[in-house]
Structure 1
Amino acid sequence: MLKLDRISVRYGATLGVDRISLEVREGELVTLIGANGAGKSTTLRAINGLEPLAGGSIHFDGHLISGATPAAIIDRGISHCPEGRRVFPQLTVRENLEMGAYRRLDRQRVASDMERMFDRFPRLRERAGQVAGTLSGGEQQMLAIARALMSRPRLVMFDEPSLGLAPNIVEQIFGLVLEIRAEGTTVLMVEQNAYAALEMCDRGYLLENGRIVDQGSAAQMLANPEIRRAYLGG
């Protein structure tokens, strides 16, 4: 479904991502793990068109999308739930969800999808008229996930969905990611909690200093002694 072929992203003289290749098959949950600054978030931003490529190509469903605008990439069926949630703080919960569907023309189905999100996230229904900046961290993460789903994506990218959340909320958020995948949406996830990410995923990629240094099934990566020592606490 998604294929990155030797992509590079440059920040001035520095390569943030250095000739990485990966693929995500339809229906999979694939995770990218690695330390801070390894290039994980940059990779997602390159996929959704927010970072221009210095080399390589990105294809989705066999179509070249590198060089396309973020809006065109959303139209192709890729959605992004960004690191730090990035809700629109001065807009209400309902308005944030509407922003997630701003590219859609089927307004009747948008309304029904919003009801579906409120059914899935009852807390958001309770706060539909509340400005998003006043929500708790967990509520904002729920809103960011719901907003990402409002475009009806075929592939959704999650960037650090557990960041800064209490353990009980983290468990809830990971459960939602698994539900989304079980419903047929393909998932590409960046997550610093490497153990939890590998427990959830089908396959994983390990990034270090902008390069992929290991990849494999979840079981293979969990059993790798070097990954266990460096990222899984032994």
Structure 2
Amino acid sequence: MLKLDDISVRYGATLGVDRISIEVREGELVTLIGANGAGKSTTLRAISGLEPLSTGSIRFDGHDIGGAMPAQIIERGIAHCPEGRRVFPQLSVRENLEMGAYRRIDRQRVRSDMERMFDRFPRLRERSGQAAGTLSGGEQQMLAIARALMARPRLAMFDEPSLGLAPNIVQMIFELILEVRREGTTVLLVEQNAYAALGMCDRAYLLENGRIVTSGSAADMLANETIRKSYLGG
């Protein structure tokens, strides 16, 4: 479904991502793990069209999207739930969900999907008229996920969804991501909690200093002694 071939992203003289290649097959849950600054979020931003490529290509369903605008990439079927949630704080919960569907013209289905989001996230229904900036961190993360799903993506990308959340909320967020995958949406996940990420995914890529240093099935990565010592607490 998604193929990154030898892509690089440069910030001035600094390489954020250095010639990496990644594949995501339809129906998979694939995760990118690594330390802060390894290039994980930059990779997702490049896929979304938020960072220009210095080298390489990105193809989705066989179509080159490496130079596409973010709105075009959303229309192709890729949605991005960004690090830090990035809700629109002055807009209500309902208005944030509407923004997630702003490129869709099937307004009746949009209204139906919003009701589905409220069924999936009852707390958002309770706060539908409330400004998003007044929600708790966990509620904002629910809203960010729901907003991404309002685009009806075929590929959903989640960037550090557990960051800064209480353990009970983290568990709920992970269960929601697994549910999204079970319902047929392909998932590309960036997650600081490497142990949890490897417990959820089919395959994983380990990034260090903008490069992929190893990849494999979740089972292989969990059994890798270097990964266990460096990222899984031994």
Note whether the superposition's TM-score is higher than 0.5: yes
RMSD: 0.2
Paired residue type of 2:132: A
Deviation at 1:69, TM superposition (A): 0.2
Deviation at 1:5, TM superposition (A): 0.1
How do 1:131-142 and structure 2 match up within 5 A? Answer: 131-142=131-142
How do 1:195-206 and structure 2 match up within 5 A? Answer: 195-206=195-206
Paired residue type of 1:51: E
1:79 paired residue number: 79
> How many Å separate the matches in 2 of 1:217 and 1:168?
27
SS at match of 2:83: coil
Deviation at 1:141, TM superposition (A): 0.2
Paired residue type of 1:14: T
**1:126 and 2:109 equivalent?**
no
Deviation at 1:176, TM superposition (A): 0.2
> How many Å separate the matches in 2 of 1:179 and 1:152?
14
2:175 paired residue number: 175
**1:30 and 2:30 equivalent?**
yes
SS at match of 1:8: strand
2:218 paired residue number: 218
Paired residue type of 2:26: E
> How many Å separate the matches in 2 of 1:68 and 1:119?
34
> How many Å separate the matches in 2 of 1:172 and 1:121?
11
2:88 paired residue number: 88
Deviation at 1:189, TM superposition (A): 0.3
| 1:134-156 residue CA offsets vs partner (Å, 9 max, x unmatched) | 00000000000000000000000
Deviation at 1:73, TM superposition (A): 0.2
> How many Å separate the matches in 2 of 1:94 and 1:67?
32
| 1:31-73 residue CA offsets vs partner (Å, 9 max, x unmatched) | 0000000000000000000000000000000000000000000
1:61 paired residue number: 61
> How many Å separate the matches in 2 of 1:178 and 1:109?
23
Deviation at 1:229, TM superposition (A): 0.2
1:39 paired residue number: 39
Deviation at 1:130, TM superposition (A): 0.2
> How many Å separate the matches in 1 of 2:43 and 2:23?
12
Paired residues, what number?
A: 234
Deviation at 1:192, TM superposition (A): 0.6
Structure 2 unpaired stretches of 5+: none
Structure 1 segments, 4+ long, off by >6 Å, are none
Deviation at 1:206, TM superposition (A): 0.1
> How many Å separate the matches in 1 of 2:152 and 2:130?
24
Paired residue type of 2:74: I
| 1:137-178 residue CA offsets vs partner (Å, 9 max, x unmatched) | 000000000000000000000000000000000000000000
